[in-house]
Amino acid sequence: MLGGIVGDAVGSRFEGRRGRIETRDFAFFHPRCRFTDDTVCTCAVAQWLLDGGDLAAILRAWVRRYPDRGYGGLFRRWAANPSMGPYGSWGNGAPMRVGPVGWAARDEAEVLELARASAVITHDHPEAVRAAQALAFAVFRARHGAEPARIRREVEERFGYDLSFTVEEIRPHDRFDVSARGSTPQAMVCALEAVDFEDAVRNAVSLGGDSDTLACMAGSLAEPLFGIPAWIEEGVRPFLTEEILELMARFRARFGRPPHSVSRRPGSVTLSQEVGTPSGPEPVSSMKAFVIALPLHRVSAGGNRGGGPQGVSGVAPEVCVDRGPEGA
């Protein structure tokens, strides 16, 4: 889950800037970096996967503890009203928080079901669910050793996304797009064509627009592909609260992490020492995929997976998007 949190923090200071960044040459960490709603929601999903329980209640509790992190208007309304059900959003709020699912799931079927369940409490539009499933699936396959080219092919075949473009091709045309369909494939390509973790995050931020969420999603996939260098792991810590750091440690202890930080740069070497191998099953060879059609100072908080996360049932949607001018 650390990859998504790093991406969120790095991209946060560029989010919503007029025009595009159009450069990969920027300070990776900066005093204006902060964690946003992407991190808060990712942490809620991680806690749900660790401890079980009602994800909607867990997510609302995290939002109450971190109320000023750039939530969209409809999501804020949902978080403040326990009786409000999902609101049909097709936004990228579902895939931005799904990264931990790819680590916790034991097989491909569970990846898809947990991703669906993590999405539909708010984002029950088919496009939001599909994006969450696609990204969680890609994280799962990367965690179990699949190469970027294979992940690209499998995501295209199973989820119907076109991932044949490159970052350079889309950068001049990219815009502020908070739809799941219009941002998740782009974020995945930022990771799949990268040479290491840092490269993936820089790719995503260079697209501009919803930069924190693009980098969060790209970072989520880049972590199992490449690992995270020690300097990045240490660099993000001052921007996080003790609660978030403790949750990350618990999640890593339960579900593991990549064996080391790697790079695909010619002549590159491992950037951090070897650590424990990921926990979980061997890759599942085949399955009929189903897609639901349907600061530099420590921040203050501001204010047993058990039997597994509870299933979540959907409610008839009012088609809308919860992210936009008001923030993520």
Give 63-129 as a DSSP string: HHHS--S---HHHHHHHH-TT-----B-BTHHHHT-HHHHHH-SSHHHHHHHHHHHHHTT--SHHHH
> By the 8 A CB rule, do 182 and 162 touch?
no
Question: Does 312 reside within a domain?
Answer: no
Over 90: is that where the pLDDT of 295 sits? no
Q: How far apart are CA 217 and CA 288, in angstroms?
A: 25
When divided into structural domains, the chain yields a total of 1
Model confidence at 256, in pLDDT bands (50, 70, 90)? confident
Cβ partners under 8 Å of residue 248, min gap 6: 1, 2, 5, 46, 240
Show the tokens assigned to 273: 């020492």
Q: What is the DSSP string of 16-46?
A: T-SS----S-S-SS-TT----HHHHHHHHHH
CB 41 within 8 A of CB 94: no
Separation between Cα atoms, residue 135 and residue 127, nearest integer Å: 12
Burial of 52 (0-12, 13-18, 19+ CB in 10 A): middle
Give me the pLDDT at residue 25, please.
79
pLDDT of res. 309: 53
Q: Is residue 226 part of a domain?
A: yes
Q: What is the mean pLDDT of the chain?
A: 81
Answer whether residue 62 is part of any domain. Answer: yes
Query: According to the model, what pLDDT value does residue 18 have?
Result: 45
- What local confidence, expressed as pLDDT, does residue 100 receive? 98
pLDDT for 105 equals 97
Whole-number pLDDT of residue 281:
32
CA dist 286 → 154, 159, 289, 305 (Å) = 11, 15, 9, 26
pLDDT over 80 (residue 259):
no
pLDDT at position 322 = 40
Residue 273 has pLDDT above 70, yes or no: no
pLDDT at 6: 98
Q: Are 303 and 43 in contact (CB under 8 A)?
A: no
The answer to whether position 235 is within a domain reads yes
Residue 230 within a domain = yes
Rounded CA gap, 71 and 50, in Å? Answer: 24
Q: Tell me the average pLDDT across 155-179.
A: 86
pLDDT in the model for residue 178: 80
User: How long is the chain?
Assistant: 328
Tell me the per-residue pLDDT of 87-108, one tens digit each, with 9 for 90 and over: 999 999 999 999 999 999 999 9
56 within some domain: yes
How far apart (Å, rounded) are the C-alpha atoms in residues 84 and 51? 24
Q: Is the pLDDT of residue 268 over 70?
A: no
Q: What is the pLDDT of residues 43-67, one digit of tens each?
A: 999 999 999 999 999 999 999 999 9
Write the CATH number for 238. 1.10.4080.10
Confidence of residue 179 (pLDDT cuts 50, 70, 90): confident
Q: Is 307 domain-assigned?
A: no
Contact 209, 240 (CB under 8 A): no
**Which tops the pLDDT comparison, 260 or 168?**
168
> Domain limits at 73?
2-17+29-255
Q: pLDDT tens-digit profile of 106-134?
A: 999 999 999 999 999 999 999 999 999 99
